[in-house]
Copies of this chain bind each other. A is one copy, B any other.
Amino acid sequence: MKNIDPEWNNFRNIGDGGDGFPSDLQYSIKFHGKNEVIFRQGDLCDALNILMTGSVKTEMITENGNLMGIEIINAPRPLAPAFLFSGNNRFPVDVTTLEEVEVLRIPKDEVIRLMTAQPDFMQQFLTHNANRTQFLTNRLQLLSIKTIKGKIAHFLLEQAGEQGDTFTLNRNQTELADFFGVARPSLARSLSEMIEENIIAVNKREYSILDKRKLRDLLL
Contacts and interface: CB of A to CB of B under 8 A. Distances in A.
Give the secondary structure class of A's interface: helix
Interface in A134-166: 134, 136-137, 139-141, 143-147, 150, 154
A115 B120 CA distance: 12
Interface stretch (A9-17, A19-27, A57-65, A99-107): A57-65
B84 A130 contact: yes
Give how many copies assemble into the complex: 2
Contacts of A85: 123, 126-127, 129-130
Nearest to A86: B130
Contact of A134 (B68, B86, B134): B86
A112 interface: yes
Contacts of A146: 62, 64, 66, 181
22 contacts: A60-B144, A63-B141, A63-B145, A63-B150, A64-B219, A68-B144, A82-B133, A82-B134, A83-B130, A84-B130, A85-B130, A86-B131, A86-B133, A87-B131, A88-B134, A89-B130, A92-B137, A116-B122, A129-B130, A133-B136, A136-B137, A136-B140
